[in-house]
């Protein structure tokens, strides 16, 4: 439900505002004494080739038959973390069977027992983390109150604490876009957060990178801070990491790769983004993903 001008343009389009913010950030060069950067990322005791991950995606069998499994194959081949959202238990098992290290994001279903069952199944299946997209507690922008056919409902801090306690795995809160929610995430013992507006669940949403430095300050390195929304190239990923993100997730750009090239297409998108990220890191004196000086970023 968006307000369109007579020209058909939605001035509050969060995807466009987010893109404009990425493009307003410029990068200085630091080449003397620089080294070829490593893009490796340590996360929860494992090493990944890249901090560029597949976003929590779902329903990709509509993009291409076998699209969910192909996406996981592409992620595994790129040495990237695979995230997934709403989907069946059988589908989650098939994703994990590809060898992709997978994070399962569970919807904020109104039925709490369903949440606990999904948590238990995900943990038993061998995911590396679980979580919830808390920006979906009122449903989608165009289908309010529901995620697919399932009713969703708002969650209190106590509800979330009970989910965190129900699993031994890190529990991620996806859709954090305020310092207030970041503080609450720490308070309940979340294992990480995703700074995100879910691709525009709300018009005029603050661009994740604009609020990221403040959230990073609140989190103070206690848990990983992931970012998604609008990341399509290595420079976007670089800016996010420079501003304090642990890693980034890519949704629609990965879907474009899947659509044109299946698992290979997914791998290629992840590797292209990682390649440009490495180039930017190397040219800014950033030896690895944990050593990027935020001062290399300038506002246009
Ligand atoms: C087809 C599709 C399915 C998605 N399904 C989910 C989901 O089930 N759970 C979730 O948390 N986010 C879901 N998302 C949101 C993504 O995880 C991500 O937040 C969003 O797409 C923004 O990233 P992007 O701009 O790189 O696409 C979905 C996005 C797309 C495009």
pLDDT 10s digits, 65-105: 999 999 999 999 999 999 999 999 999 999 999 999 999 99
- The ligand 1 site (C-beta within 6 Å) comprises 55-59, 85-86, 105, 133, 174, 196, 198-199, 228-231, 250-252, 255
pLDDT above 90 for 183: yes
For residue 87, give the ligand 1 atom closest to its CA: 8
**What pLDDT, on the 0 to 100 scale, is given for residue 116?**
98
Q: What is the pTM of this model?
A: 0.97
What angle, 0 to 180 degrees and rounded to 10, lies between the N-to-C axes of helices 252-282 and 234-242? Answer: 60
Which residue among 13, 17, 19, 58 has the greatest number of ligand 1 atoms within 8 angstroms of its CB, and so is best to mutate? 58
What does the mean pLDDT of the chain come to?
97
- Tell me which of 7-11, 17-21, 95-99, 113-117 is least confident: 7-11
pLDDT above 70 for 5: no
CA 296 to chain centre: 23
Cα–Cα distance between 208 and 211 in angstroms, integer? 6
- Tell me which of 135-144, 199-208, 244-253 is least confident: 135-144
**What pLDDT, on the 0 to 100 scale, is given for residue 6?**
61
Residue whose CA lies nearest to ligand 1 atom number 2? 57
Q: How do residues 45-70 score in pLDDT, each as one tens digit? A: 999 999 999 999 999 999 999 999 99
pLDDT above 80 for 3: no
Class in CATH terms, 14-299: alpha beta
pLDDT above 70 for 1: no
Mean pLDDT across 32-47: 97
Spacing, Cα 188 to ligand 1 middle (Å): 24
Cα–Cα distance between 16 and 250 in angstroms, integer? 16
Q: Long-range contacts: 8-11, Cβ < 8 Å, 24+?
A: 10/203
Question: Does residue 161 contact residue 188 with C-beta atoms inside 8 Å?
Answer: yes
The full set of domain ranges for the chain reads 14-299
Q: Is 197 a catalytic residue?
A: no
């Amino acid at each position: 439900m968006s307000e369109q001008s007579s020209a058909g343009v939605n001035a509050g389009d969060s995807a466009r505002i987010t893109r404009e913010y990425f493009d307003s950030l410029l990068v200085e060069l630091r080449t003397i004494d620089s080294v070829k950067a490593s893009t490796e990322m340590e996360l929860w005791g494992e090493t990944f080739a890249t901090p560029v991950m597949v976003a929590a995606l779902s329903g990709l069998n509509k993009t291409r038959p076998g699209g969910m499994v192909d996406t996981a194959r592409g992620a595994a081949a790129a040495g990237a973390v695979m995230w997934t959202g709403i989907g069946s238990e059988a589908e989650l098992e098939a994703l994990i069977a590809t060898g992709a290290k997978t994070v399962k994001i569970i919807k904020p279903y109104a039925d709490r027992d369903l949440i606990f069952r999904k948590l238990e199944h995900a943990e038993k299946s061998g995911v590396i983390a679980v979580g919830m997209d808390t920006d979906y507690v009122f449903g989608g922008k165009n289908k309010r109150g529901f995620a697919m056919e399932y009713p969703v409902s708002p969650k209190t801090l106590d509800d979330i604490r009970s989910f965190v306690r129900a699993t031994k795995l890190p529990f991620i809160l996806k859709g954090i876009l305020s310092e207030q929610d970041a503080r609450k995430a720490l308070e309940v013992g979340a294992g990480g957060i995703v700074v995100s507006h879910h691709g525009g669940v709300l018009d005029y949403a603050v661009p994740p990178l604009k609020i990221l430095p403040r959230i990073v300050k609140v989190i103070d390195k206690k848990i990983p801070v992931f970012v998604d929304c609008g990341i399509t190239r290595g420079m976007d990923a670089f800016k996010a990491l420079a501003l304090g993100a642990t890693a980034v997730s890519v949704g629609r750009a990965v879907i474009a790769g899947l659509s044109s090239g299946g698992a290979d297409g997914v791998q290629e998108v992840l590797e292209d983004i990682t390649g440009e990220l490495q180039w930017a890191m190397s040219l800014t004196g950033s030896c690895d993903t944990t050593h990027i000086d935020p001062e290399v970023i300038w506002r246009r």
